[in-house]
């Protein structure tokens, strides 16, 4: 039996379609036997042809494809259930004689005289608009764009709500186009009501926790949290539902992705009466591409789910304490996880990448690693190991949040209060003073053996601190000890506990490099298309200045775009950019210049390819498009030079 929320959400989706019918019209059932229509005279016609879009960067979208034949001036609205791609229809129904490679090269305007104009016609249920959308690498001209738009406008019942969706590849073609019929991606993004993030199912007690109460709320690992804002952190729980939209690379979504717990945003969730009725109850929560489900659950079913989910073997960590030297980046590679931690090991691997012109990817200057030996030395010299052993030995502490937080705080305070080994401090200071460029501020970044391992990234669990050669309040000693102490934060401990990681062999190394001051922008990229599997693209989030992408302040919208290697399909040389949203801190204008996007694309492709081969692949196979690295980068202020800060498996 459906819950009230299931019924409500289903009704919302149905009404979005029915709202375009007149009183005397009825929707026609989808007819898979109709290959195309030459006009759309009523919503029933659109319903016959519609299907799901190929890419899922927006939700609650109905899509059909269309082809305009330049030779015959014929317009074809194509049945999306029968023909997944334009080529399928053109070759099977219009007898196109050549293969897919020739079709892509010619019919997107890259080489030769094209016969077809190809577009998608999308209906956005929440915005109540129809958009013509073109492939990212399509070189359509202004005249051709006007031709296909006018042909569609004459042939549909929704002329007044028909627009061209403006994206980077159409900038020139739209320069002389009627602005009244242009819709920006930000207008579409702003009208979205539902945003699925992690497609998972879970059981837990639905708790409504507002922004004002969030910091002091006593969370349980069996909670499902509804919030009226976008939190920057979240203790381990069974799932989250926010009213604020996220990005795929927002910290809260990375946490959900790593935990495999459901996550979505629904703008009306806070006031929704059906959701209100379930607050405090044991529920089943499931996120799907176009809707989510909340329903009351039986305790026995929930218990069986929890037992199955957390019945996993214990993971053992490798820790090598033999290395006592500070290691320059040139001496570190991906095999050093057991010595310096995964972050430093992957950073050292970045230094091994060669670009086509034999240059290297720019990394922050003066990079070196402090190995695990010095962390473990600090723990043993000051008699702190028994405190750690007690934490790990007694379940009565580990599973009592109040006791656990008290013990962990005492351990962190002790790590920070005890004096640092004088020899280590001398070695580090000598390294910093020898750094080319005369830098005085340095970033000390956590690097553990409990991150970036299969099934557990550890993203955001540990602290990074700035240490200064000239500011006593930001001393080098304080920075090192604060990073070490962050190994024992409550959230890090609990995440490892629920991931069944044996914490007895845990260790913290530190990656050190020069600190950045102010910056033009900072970003995170995933080297795969998060919205469409098997398609050559990277998903990029970037924000102005130092406002974090993964920890956004005041719910600022970052810039998000798909960086598409369209040439992999069409034979072209250029990359193409599909913007999903622009930065609310930059007046919704692009943060990167075209030439900077090209540089970023070169870096991301090189990183993807290098780590793909390093992971054991011999050739670039069909799974290369979906192989993903999580890459952090910065745009340096003044020089606008792109630096890569980090790369980890996604």
Q: What share of the chain in percent tops pLDDT 70? A: 92
Q: What is the pLDDT of residues 431-472, one digit of tens each?
A: 999 999 899 999 999 999 999 888 788 888 899 999 999 999
Sign of the Cα torsion 502, 508, 509, 511 reads positive
Q: What is the pLDDT of residue 351?
A: 96
Distance CA 132, CA 148 (A): 9
pLDDT above 60 for 502: yes
Residues 6 or more apart whose CB falls under 8 angstroms from that of 558 comprise 247, 541, 542, 543, 547, 549, 552, 581, 583
> Which backbone phi and psi does 34 adopt, to 5 degrees?
-90, 110
Mean pLDDT of the chain: 88
pLDDT above 90 for 483: yes
Q: What is the pLDDT of residues 230-286, one digit of tens each?
A: 887 788 899 999 999 888 878 888 889 888 999 999 999 999 999 999 999 999 999
Residues 6 or more apart whose CB falls under 8 angstroms from that of 323 comprise 339, 340, 371, 372, 373
Domains 194-309 and 520-649 share a fold: no
Contact 121, 63 (CB under 8 A): yes
Q: What is the pLDDT of residues 112-150, one digit of tens each?
A: 799 999 999 999 998 899 999 998 778 888 999 999 999
Q: How many CA atoms lie within 13 A of 57 on its CB side?
A: 20
Contact 190, 172 (CB under 8 A): no
> Which backbone phi and psi does 223 adopt, to 5 degrees?
-90, 150
- The CATH number for 327-514, chosen from 1.10.3210.10, 3.30.1490.20, 3.30.70.20, 3.40.1280.10, is 3.30.1490.20
Read out DSSP for 362-422? ---TT-EEE-HHHHHHHHHHTT-HHHHHHHHH-HHHHT-HHHHHHHHHHHHHHHHHSPPPH
pLDDT above 60 for 425: yes
Report the Cα 514 to chain-centroid distance in Å: 27
Residues 6 or more apart whose CB falls under 8 angstroms from that of 150 comprise none
Is the CATH number of domain 520-649 3.40.50.970? no
pLDDT above 90 for 547: no
Q: What is the pLDDT of residue 334?
A: 93
Residue entry with tokens 């959400």: 9
Is the CATH number of domain 194-309 3.40.50.300? no
Whole-angstrom CA distances from 413 to 220, 337, 387, 409, 468 are: 25, 27, 12, 6, 21
The residue-averaged pLDDT of 428-433 equals 97
| Higher pLDDT pick, 433 / 169 | 433
pLDDT band, residue 571 (cuts 50/70/90): low
C-beta atoms surrounding 594 within 10 Å: 12
pLDDT above 80 for 2: no
> Which backbone phi and psi does 66 adopt, to 5 degrees?
-140, 150
Helix (H) or strand (E) holding 482: helix 476-485
Distance CA 235, CA 255 (A): 10
Distance CA 170, CA 132 (A): 11
- Which residue from 468, 457, 638 is spatially nearest to 550, judged by alpha carbons? 457
C-beta atoms surrounding 95 within 10 Å: 7
In 3-state terms, the chain is what percent helix, strand and coil (to 5)?
35, 25, 40
Q: What is the pLDDT of residue 46?
A: 96
Cβ burial of 341 (10 Å; 0-12, 13-18, 19+) is buried
* End-to-end CA gap in the chain: 38
Cβ burial of 194 (10 Å; 0-12, 13-18, 19+) is buried
DSSP code of residue 188: H
DSSP code of residue 179: G
For residue 170 the two structure tokens come to 């159409």
Residues 6 or more apart whose CB falls under 8 angstroms from that of 156 comprise 39, 40, 130, 162
DSSP H helices, 519-593, are 567-570
Q: What is the pLDDT of residue 26?
A: 31
pTM to 2 decimal places: 0.82
| Higher pLDDT pick, 87 / 126 | 87
pLDDT band, residue 585 (cuts 50/70/90): confident
Q: What is the pLDDT of residue 566?
A: 58
| Higher pLDDT pick, 19 / 344 | 344
Distance CA 281, CA 644 (A): 46
Q: Where are the domains of the chain?
A: 31-187, 194-309, 327-514, 520-649
Q: What is the pLDDT of residue 319?
A: 97
Distance CA 29, CA 32 (A): 10
Distance CA 4, CA 16 (A): 18
Q: What is the pLDDT of residues 275-326, one digit of tens each?
A: 999 999 999 999 998 899 999 999 999 999 998 887 778 889 999 999 999 9
pLDDT band, residue 15 (cuts 50/70/90): very low
Distance CA 506, CA 497 (A): 12
Contact 230, 208 (CB under 8 A): no
Residues 6 or more apart whose CB falls under 8 angstroms from that of 77 comprise 36, 37, 38, 39, 40, 45, 49, 64, 65, 66, 121, 155
Distance CA 415, CA 486 (A): 10
């Amino acid at each position: 039996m459906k819950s009230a929320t299931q019924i409500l959400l289903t009704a919302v989706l149905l009404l979005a379609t029915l709202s375009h019918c007149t009183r005397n019209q009825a929707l026609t059932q989808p007819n898979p036997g109709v290959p195309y229509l030459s006009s759309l005279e009523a919503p029933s016609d659109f319903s016959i042809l519609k299907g799901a879009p190929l890419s899922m960067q927006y939700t609650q979208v109905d899509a059909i494809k269309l082809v305009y034949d330049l030779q015959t001036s014929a317009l074809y609205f194509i049945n999306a259930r029968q023909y997944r791609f334009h080529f399928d229809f053109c070759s099977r129904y219009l007898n196109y004689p050549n293969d897919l490679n020739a079709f892509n090269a010619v019919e997107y305007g890259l080489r030769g005289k094209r016969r077809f104009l190809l577009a998608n016609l999308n209906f956005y249920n929440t915005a109540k608009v129809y958009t013509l959308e073109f492939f990212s690498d399509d070189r359509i001209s202004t005249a051709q764009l006007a031709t296909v738009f006018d042909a569609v406008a004459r042939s549909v019942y929704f002329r007044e709500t028909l627009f061209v969706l403006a994206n980077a590849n159409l900038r020139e073609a739209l320069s002389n186009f009627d602005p009244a019929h242009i819709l920006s991606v930000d207008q579409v993004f702003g009208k979205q009501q539902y945003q699925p993030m992690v497609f998972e199912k879970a059981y837990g007690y639905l708790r409504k926790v507002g922004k004002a109460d969030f910091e002091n709320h006593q969370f349980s690992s069996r909670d499902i949290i509804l919030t009226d804002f976008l939190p920057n952190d979240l203790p381990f729980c069974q799932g989250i539902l926010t009213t604020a939209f996220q990005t795929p690379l927002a910290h809260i979504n990375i946490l959900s992705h790593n935990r495999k717990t459901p996550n979505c945003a629904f703008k009306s969730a806070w006031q929704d009466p059906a959701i209100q009725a379930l607050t405090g109850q044991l529920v089943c929560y499931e996120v799907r591409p176009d809707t989510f489900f909340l329903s009351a659950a039986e305790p026995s079913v929930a218990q069986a789910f929890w037992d199955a989910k957390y019945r996993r073997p214990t993971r053992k960590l490798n820790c090598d304490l033999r290395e006592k030297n500070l290691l320059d980046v040139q001496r570190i590679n991906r095999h050093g996880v057991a010595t310096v931690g995964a972050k430093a090991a992957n950073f050292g691997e970045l230094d091994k990448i060669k670009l086509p012109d034999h240059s290297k990817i720019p990394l922050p200057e003066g990079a070196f690693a402090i190995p695990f030996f010095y962390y473990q030395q600090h723990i043993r010299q000051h008699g702190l190991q028994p405190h750690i052993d007690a934490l790990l030995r007694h379940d009565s502490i580990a599973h009592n949040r109040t006791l656990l937080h008290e013990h962990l705080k005492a351990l962190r305070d002790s790590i920070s209060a005890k004096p640092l080994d004088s020899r280590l401090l001398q070695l580090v200071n000598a390294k910093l003073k020898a750094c080319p460029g005369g830098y005085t501020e340095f970033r000390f970044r956590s690097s553990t053996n409990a991150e970036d391992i299969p099934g557990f990234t550890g993203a955001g669990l540990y602290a990074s601190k700035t240490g200064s050669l000239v500011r006593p309040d930001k001393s080098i000693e304080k920075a090192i000890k604060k990073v070490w102490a962050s190994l024992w934060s409550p959230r890090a401990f609990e995440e490892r506990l629920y991931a069944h990681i044996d914490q007895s062999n845990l260790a913290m190394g530190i990656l050190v490099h020069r600190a950045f001051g102010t910056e033009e922008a900072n970003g995170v990229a995933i080297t795969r298309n998060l919205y469409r599997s098997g398609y050559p693209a990277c998903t990029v989030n970037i924000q102005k200045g130092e406002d974090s992408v993964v920890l956004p302040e005041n719910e600022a919208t970052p810039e998000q775009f798909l960086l598409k290697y369209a040439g992999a399909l069409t034979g072209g040389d250029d990359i193409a950019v599909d913007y999903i949203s622009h930065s609310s801190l930059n007046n919704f204008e692009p943060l990167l210049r075209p030439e900077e996007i090209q540089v970023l694309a070169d870096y991301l492709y090189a990183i993807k390819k290098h780590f793909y081969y390093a992971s054991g692949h011999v050739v670039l196979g069909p799974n290369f498009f979906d192989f993903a690295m999580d890459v952090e980068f910065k745009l340096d202020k003044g020089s606008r030079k792109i630096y890569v800060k980090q790369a980890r498996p996604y």
